[in-house]
Amino acid sequence: MAALRASLGLTGASSRGQPQRPSGVVREQVSVSNGLTSVAPVSLAVKPVSPAWTGNGSLLAMLEPVLEGRRRGNGRRRLGKMHSRRKQPWDSGLTESGEELLRKIVVLPNDECVSSVLTTSEPNLSSSELLSIMKGLGREGQWNKALEVFNWMRQSVNFRPDGVTIAVMLRILGRESQLTTVSRLFKSLREEGYPLDVYAYTSLISALSRNRKFKEALGFFEQMKEAGPQPSLVTYNVIIDLYGKKGRSWENILELFEEMKAQGIQPDEYTYNTAITACASGSLCEEATELFTQMKSSNCTPDRVTYNALLDVYGKAGWYNEAANVLKEMESAGCLPNIVTYNELLSAFGRAGLCNAAAEMKDSMVSKGIEPDVFTYTSLLSAYSRAGKVEQAMEIYNQMRTSNCTPNSFTFNALIGMHGKNKNFSEMMVIFEDMQACGVEPDIVTWNSLLGAFGKNGMYSEVLKVFRGMKKAGFEPDKATFNILIEAYGRCGSSDQALSIYDGMLQAGCTPDLATFNTLLAALAREGRWEHAELILDELNRSSYKPNDIAYASMLHAYANGGELEKLKEMVDTLHTIYVPFTKILLKTFVLVYSKCSLVDEAEDAFLAMRHHGYLSDTSTFNAMISMYGKKGMMDKATDTFALLRSTGLEPDVVTYNCLMGMYGREGMYRKCEATLRECMAAGQTPDLVSYNTVIFSYSKHGQLSSATRIFHEMVSNGIQPDSFTYNTFVGCYVNGGMFPEALSVVKHMHKTGCKPDEVTYRTLVDAYCKIGKFEEVERILKFIKSSDPNFSKAAYRRIAARVDDYDLRS
């Protein structure tokens, strides 16, 4: 096509108009209760695509200890117990009597009033001591009692809160995420005429920022600039930190520096450290380097926090050479690296895939007397995990356990994700058990990792069990959870349920992101539901996000799977006006959809463009071309493409060999078909069900029943269970040879092994008996269907029975 040729530097055709959108999408309802999406409407009739997890014990049995721990409150702070983090009397600002009063309030039952205790002790109290008691309660996590002390001071004539006391109270509420309470308190204090100075405003803004209420925090910041009090250096530092957490806000940070300069406020070390830290989320390496240079030129001395922040920026961006240079500069400046420094460097090497360098960094820190901590081990095993080195990752985990370094949730989540990615479900659940044994409660990432592992492999029943366990444990689904569920149902071939989850997501007040739309589009594309996909694409265009090449790739697949070739070509013409040249994802998608639609010229153009741009880096593109050539009988081109695959340094996978076997089978070259199966084994690939079914079908199609039977026994001995296609092949082979008793024995064997005969099975038998006029046998088969399988589709039964009438009419 013109658009494809343009990607090679040639001119292309003009784009055509957008296709008209269909109206009306019927979706199932998802009930929402207490912010949780109910899975009640999800149909249990959806069959898992792959076998269920068969590890030791049931999945629910493994989840139950976690749920029981949540019910008992494992790992939660016990009220009334004085913790070691609380300051001692000599540094708490309290007298001995004040310490005694604090202890009395801490152990006071929640249903008793703090004000009565304070009133009794009022003659011995001072404003400074009350402030120290509030701080002590805040350190104990008893924000409600700290608020009672504060409100008692508000009602007292002698101890009305000053600006410092107000700021402390706001900070305590902010640390405990009591946003409603802190906002209500601030409003009431303002209405009562309390002195809300810069410290109070800064504390409120900090509380809101800590809890990611960025819009509200920025609103109060604007109030300060408009009506006073004017922001201080600390206020600006808090806002810079806010923009760092928010992300994509570099221009806003630069504006803040200009404002500070205009106000005569000189940035300090904390300002620069915070701004450099903010660069990490956007991998703004050059900007961080510029800040570092400005910091040194403005007589602010970089400290260990500065260097570690700079290492974090470089590490997340993959600038591991620059990160290593930072370590050298740090040491030459007399600033000794600490464990955070080494961990940042180790993490940087790990992200870059330099596992050996990361391991050497760990050895280096040990040689300097710095013991690895949980972050060190977790970063190293994560590096091995990303590199696909499962054994080395588990070795690091075992080292961690033997060195008495207790893993945390990040450690376990990394291991669960690793095993899930590699489909090691039994090992994944063993790690989940270890997590419980270590007293580490699963967090939302843990649950999402389990959901993702099962969902991506179409294990529907396990997804449902984990999701129920997650809700039972008291976790609300977050955006990632909804996206995982949408993907899981999409891979199970249930786009209706994926749409239900999407509706439930909206009802729960969770705003979809680009990943949500892309995942939903992919689910619809698999089933060729292009009309529904167009509606979702319209919703994406109306959102704050814009479609990317992944979204458009799903639309192309939707049109191809739905047989809408004209819409497919219109979409390609439209994309030509958006992408010049086409991206790697789009070019690969063109190859896949054109080859699926047997559009040879267009597929070859796209394949040539990929080769021209150096994009041929995976086997799936080659497999699509080989499959297309094979189906079109273009054997020379198929074998040439296979040779090209090997010449690029890629290894053929089992799908590659399946495509070749299918081609040889269709061409009647059944011996060559089996020879390719043996070649697949010799190459270290494990044949799958499709491999054996292809060879069996090839032999049976050409009357080679003994060879087909031999391959069948080999398949079973290798642990691969036959499916309905396998058995139907033998049924067809037997009836074509007039061997009706043998065909019926296959049907009985299917019932015995739990592989129920389907419409194709019975239709093959009925057609064969009708051809030879044995209609009484057909009646027996129809009765057998009803008696042996009450759940057999009534529509399918009617279609089979109608074939008898068709034969009567023709005869």
Q: What is the DSSP string of 177-217?
A: T-HHHHHHHHHHHHHTT----HHHHHHHHHHHHHTT-HHHH
**Residue 186 banded pLDDT, cuts 50, 70, 90:** very high
Of 81-85, 151-155, 782-786, minimum mean pLDDT range: 81-85
Sign of CA dihedral 440, 445, 448, 453: negative
pLDDT at 731: 93
pLDDT at residue 50 greater than cutoff 50? no
Average pLDDT over every residue of 590-609: 95
pLDDT at residue 767 greater than cutoff 50? yes
pLDDT at residue 10 greater than cutoff 50? no
- Is the CB of residue 803 less than 8 Å from the CB of residue 766? yes
Average pLDDT over every residue of 138-150: 92
pLDDT at 82: 37
pLDDT at residue 40 greater than cutoff 50? no
| Pairwise CA distance, residues 345 & 357, whole Å | 10
| Pairwise CA distance, residues 502 & 520, whole Å | 8
Q: Is 629 helix (H, G, I), strand (E, B) or coil?
A: helix
DSSP line for 259-307 = HHHHHTPPP-HHHHHHHHHHTTTTT-HHHHHHHHHHHHHTTPPP-HHHH
Give the up-direction half-sphere exposure of residue 725: CA atoms within 13 A in the CB hemisphere. 11
Higher pLDDT, 649 or 272: 272
Single-letter code of the amino acid located at 561:
N
- CB count in 10 Å sphere of residue 249: 20
pLDDT at residue 157 greater than cutoff 50? yes
* 345, 350, 381, 387, 435 from 384: Cα distances, Å: 15, 8, 5, 5, 20
By percentage, how much of the chain surpasses pLDDT 90? 48
Of 23-32, 64-73, 308-317, 664-673, minimum mean pLDDT range: 23-32
Single-letter code of the amino acid located at 281:
S
Of 353-367, 551-565, 654-668, minimum mean pLDDT range: 353-367
Judged on CB neighbours under 10 Å (0-12, 13-18, 19+), 421 is middle
pLDDT at 93: 67
Higher pLDDT, 508 or 275: 275
Higher pLDDT, 491 or 58: 491
Single-letter code of the amino acid located at 725:
F
pLDDT at residue 623 greater than cutoff 90? yes
pLDDT at residue 146 greater than cutoff 90? yes
Average pLDDT over every residue of 16-20: 35
| Pairwise CA distance, residues 274 & 235, whole Å | 12
pLDDT at 396: 92
| Pairwise CA distance, residues 477 & 34, whole Å | 11
User: Per-domain residue ranges for the chain?
Assistant: 738-811
DSSP strand pairing (32-33 vs 36-37): antiparallel
**Residue 811 banded pLDDT, cuts 50, 70, 90:** low
Average pLDDT over every residue of 194-211: 90
Q: Which residues pair with 36 in a beta bridge?
A: 33
pLDDT at residue 610 greater than cutoff 80? yes
Q: What is the pLDDT of residues 110-126, one digit of tens each?
A: 878 898 889 888 888 88
- Is the CB of residue 393 less than 8 Å from the CB of residue 381? yes
pLDDT at 6: 35
Average pLDDT over every residue of 780-790: 88
pLDDT at residue 312 greater than cutoff 90? no
pLDDT at residue 227 greater than cutoff 80? yes
pLDDT at residue 797 greater than cutoff 80? yes
**Residue 65 banded pLDDT, cuts 50, 70, 90:** low
Give the gyration radius of the chain's Cα atoms. Answer: 34
- Is the CB of residue 451 less than 8 Å from the CB of residue 488? yes
Of 335-339, 525-529, 625-629, 744-748, minimum mean pLDDT range: 335-339
Average pLDDT over every residue of 775-788: 88
pLDDT at residue 35 greater than cutoff 70? no
pLDDT at residue 92 greater than cutoff 80? no
Mean pLDDT of the chain: 84
Sign of CA dihedral 270, 276, 277, 278: positive
Q: Is 36 helix (H, G, I), strand (E, B) or coil?
A: strand
Judged on CB neighbours under 10 Å (0-12, 13-18, 19+), 232 is middle
User: In angstroms, how far is the first alpha carbon of the chain from the final one?
Assistant: 50
pLDDT at 67: 57
Average pLDDT over every residue of 506-527: 92
| Pairwise CA distance, residues 42 & 356, whole Å | 47
Of 54-58, 250-254, 401-405, minimum mean pLDDT range: 54-58
Average pLDDT over every residue of 380-401: 89
pLDDT at 120: 86
Average pLDDT over every residue of 796-801: 89
- CB count in 10 Å sphere of residue 72: 9
pLDDT at 552: 96
- CB count in 10 Å sphere of residue 753: 11
pLDDT at 534: 96
Of 148-162, 217-231, 249-263, 456-470, minimum mean pLDDT range: 456-470
